[in-house]
Structure 1
């Protein structure tokens, strides 16, 4: 049943995303951290199967989850309770079950990166999709995994494959967000266009002339050394402004000493 939160300003449920189903979560903090991970990546519908200690009753339990959610309380307030995994997935059309180990079931196994684009297509076609996450200590039972269409597993170090509940939800949510067009919230803005060849070649001519003037090139080595220098500068992929600034730096280094007056004895 829905939570009893009364905050009318909280974000609405977003139906066009996978439902996250936590089966018998044991710790309030884990429920809260899962809600936070969901909110990070645009997931908002949370279902809880027989959580320990009778969520959301008990002030301490709810308080611990709310604190761990770090602001994602709208997900906790709208979380729905179910008595079993079968009941929690009854209205869904497609279900993935998460596990870190082989279970001997002849099911397709996919990583989050492989799974999310097809899930997005299913949701776009009007299907309801869910992802089952198991208990903190023992995960999902074989019977619960048998309810699913495929197994979702994570590419982790096989010598240490254990993920906590919120980490698993976060990894799935991250790949979901990527698959549905999520991008970095900010990127470096380049206001100057790429440098023209004329600017770059002019800088080459100036630098090489000054290096020759100060005796930098050993006899017979100038062609090879100038080619290497040009390759170094090309790899910088300079903008027009950067190229002009760099030339100004070179000019200051070369001409600065010439402008200094000899120290008085």
Structure 2
């Protein structure tokens, strides 16, 4: 099996989704891992400007982890001007703007702007520079907006696929509806207040029988502490059933030993 066989069944690209433009990329493996990063974030248009070792390169397909369709459809151009000629807005990633007067956005801000451009049915692209030096001043002069990632200022080095993945991730989040927090309950459910109160009654009854709550003065506070403990998180119905069994076993086991 060659690197081009098989591959993931990727969704067809939207006509106004941003184009990822790799300017003078040096290694086929980096182009392949870039395609993988694009697929992760739902970006499918890839253009390659003056790849150092030509195109196509079989090693890119091997490195793409199944993102073959992106590489199959990739377009190759001789110059940046050729690659962006049909676009309406161009963004360029730039770790250190060098004497350039242009708007600078974070990846998140740029993703929101790219989504707005797409919603207006305009075509946009994002320039990513060569692995060793990044985009030069002539490349950045073609862009409307520069993108600078807010990273650790003491170490901002990213490889090509990482740089693309940051933008692809932020692009994906602009329409993602995944809740920021949820409890995975699998085949059970979060216990209702009634189920929780049923367990508390069971627990308190047995604690009274065992003498644990014999101090009448401290009993209300001890019961409240137990109630706070079980209401602090989202206890599931399955967990309550287990706890019912624990309390019952402790009670019957103690009686059996006496």
TM-score class, shorter-chain normalisation, is 0.7 to 0.9
Of 222, 225, 229, the match for 2:226? 229
Give 3-state SS (helix, strand or coil) of 2:76's partner: strand
Of 85, 88, 105, the match for 1:90? 85
Which residue is 1:59 aligned to?
none
Of 244, 249, 256, the match for 2:246? 249
Structure 1 range deviating more: 229-238 or 105-114: 105-114
Give 3-state SS (helix, strand or coil) of 2:125's partner: strand
Inter-partner Cα distance in structure 1 for 2:108 and 2:251? 53
CA distance 1:248–1:85, shift in 2 (3 Å): same
Q: Assess if the C-alpha contact under 8 Å between 2:37 and 2:161 holds in 1.
A: yes
Alignment of structure 1 residues 1-265 onto 2, 5 Å: 12-56=12-56, 62-181=57-176, 183=178, 188=184, 192-217=188-213, 219=215, 220-259=217-256
Q: CA deviation at 1:118?
A: 2.5
CA distance 1:43–1:245, shift in 2 (3 Å): same
In structure 2, the gaps of 5 or more residues are none
Structure 1 range deviating more: 175-184 or 47-56: 175-184
Inter-partner Cα distance in structure 2 for 1:28 and 1:190? 42
Q: Assess if the C-alpha contact under 8 Å between 1:24 and 1:49 holds in 2.
A: yes
Inter-partner Cα distance in structure 2 for 1:244 and 1:24? 62
In structure 1, the gaps of 5 or more residues are 57-61
Please give the TM-score of this superposition, normalised by the length of structure 1: 0.83
Inter-partner Cα distance in structure 2 for 1:10 and 1:241? 38
Q: Assess if the C-alpha contact under 8 Å between 1:107 and 1:150 holds in 2.
A: yes
Aligned residues: 250
Structure 1 range deviating more: 175-184 or 228-237: 175-184
Q: Assess if the C-alpha contact under 8 Å between 2:92 and 2:126 holds in 1.
A: yes
Please give the TM-score of this superposition, normalised by the length of structure 2: 0.86
Tell me the C-alpha RMSD between the 2 structures: 2.7
Q: Assess if the C-alpha contact under 8 Å between 2:129 and 2:135 holds in 1.
A: yes
